[in-house]
Amino acid sequence: MPRPWSIELWRLTLTLAPAWLVGALLDRTGLLIACGLAGLLAWHGVQLFRLTRWLQESGREPPEVGGAWSQIVDAIVRSRKAARKRKQTLSNTLARFRESAAAMPDAVIILGPHGEIEWLNNAATVMLGLRARQDSGRRLTDLTRHPTFAAYLAAGDYREPVEFPSPVDEHLRLSARVVPYGRNQRLMTVRDVTRLHRLEAMRRDFVANVSHELRTPLTVITGYLETFSDDPYVQSSDSVARTVQQMEEQAERMRRLIEDLLTLSRLETTSETADEVRAVSVASLVADIETEARVLARAQGNAIRTECDAALWLKGNAKELYSAFLNLVSNAIRYSPGGGDIILRWYGDDEGAHFAVQDHGLGIEPQHIPRITERFYRVDKDRSRASGGTGLGLAIVKHVLQRHSGRLRVESIPGRGSTFTCDFPPVRMVQRAAGVKVVSA
């Protein structure tokens, strides 16, 4: 038995035994035992009083208590010591974190559950013009009002960073990233990406200018080649005719490359303007694409089928959507040399609207799938060139989808075929007349 408890037992015995003995002598056993117990209770009451007074008044020395009470006081003293040590370690860690975060070149802001500023470092003051004292507790969106930034913060999808101009200096370009943590708290870091932004703009301008400059000489060369091919001298010699024909084919390839490069840089440099965005009848768009693709498909022996919900329209830019969808359909034909069926589907569900192109062609090995939307990435360079590919088709598709808040999904089994699906969010969907299925074969 622990020592304090054996003392308590002795205390009880030494109180009750004399009470019982004297009581037996005086013939008042009950009364004297009751008196003994009352005395004991009073003593415990005094111990309890000392303990509670000590607990309530911080900074006092531990009370002088006896028996089991001393064990309780010792345990409390020990746990208070341990808590103090933990608190000290924690506040040291916090101080170190704050010091290092304050010294960081990137802005760091801690946001509370309602988007209110809980803490920020010096860089946040420089980049966003926020003041640690005055702005603490205010909502960040009331202070940094750029619409792109406000929409990003409200949307709650923080997988990608967002770029916006600094409210302090519009020439500064900032990139913000948010990490949710704890109970509805968010850690936001903001980097100055002005240099990167300028380099990126220079790269885009360079590609656009070079493509544009190449267009004119190429038009002249193509014109001469057309004249040559009609020339009786060229037609009289098979080898010269073949050479001119190859030159024409290569000039045509170059023209397609330039057109694709210009399309890409247009998609990168311009933003979606309201007057170009309207409800588009995707079923009609698909019908036009089908007509255009049929010629190519027939030459290769592919059959095209469509299954479209004609009542489902999409908010977007018809020209861009046409170019993206045509790229997918043309790929499906070019990479299905065996002549398999190609199915185009346009449908909606709870997750949004979807345009899917399914082929029964070559398929793609899984390791290539994450990279096929990169510019000039080809699984098989020779096949891509031989079938008239520029290596830019899927990069165009990806950009068009990004501008329509959409994503490209690729499912493929090598040797069996692929399905490329464009997913659009429900906000882009427009329901017109009652659901009509446009099916063609």
Q: 112 in the Ramachandran plot: left (φ > 0), alpha (ψ -120 to 50) or beta?
A: beta
Q: Is 309 in the site for ligand ADP (CB under 6 A)?
A: no
Which of 121/302 has CB closer to ligand ADP? 302
- In the chain, count H helices and then E strands: 14, 14
The answer to the question of residue 362 lying near ligand ADP (CB under 6 A) is: yes
Shortest reach from residue 335's CB to ligand ADP, in Å: 3
Q: HSE of 132 in the Cβ direction (CA atoms, 13 Å)?
A: 10
The answer to whether residue 308 forms part of the interface with ligand ADP (CB under 6 A) is no
SS3 sequence of 97-155? HHHHHHHCCCEEEEECCCCEEEEECHHHHHHHCCCHHHHCCCEHHHHCCCHHHHHHHHH
Q: Which of 319, 323, 300 is CA-nearest to residue 386? A: 300
The terminus-to-terminus CA distance of the chain in angstroms comes to 92
Residue nearest to ligand ADP (CB): 389
| Interface mask toward ligand ADP for 375-414; x: CB under 6 A | --xxxx---x----xxxxxxx-------------------
Output the smallest distance, CB 158 to ligand ADP, in A: 29
Q: How far apart are CA 71 and CA 374, in angstroms?
A: 72
Q: How far is the CB of 391 from ligand ADP (least distance, A)?
A: 4
Between 40 and 379, CB nearer to ligand ADP: 379
Q: What is the CA radius of gyration of the chain?
A: 40
* Residue 371: its H or E element: none
* 372 in contact with ligand ADP (CB under 6 A): yes
**Residue 440 forms beta bridges with which residues?**
306
* Smallest distance from ligand ADP to CB 331, Å: 3
Task: Assess 175 for contact with ligand ADP (CB under 6 A).
Answer: no
**Which 105-124 positions form the footprint of ligand ADP (CB under 6 A)?**
none
Tell me which of 109, 162, 332, 401 binds ligand ADP, using CB under 6 A.
332
Shortest Å, Cβ 359 to ligand ADP = 5
Residues near ligand ADP, by CB under 6 A: 327, 331-332, 335, 359, 361-362, 364, 372, 377-380, 384, 389-395, 418
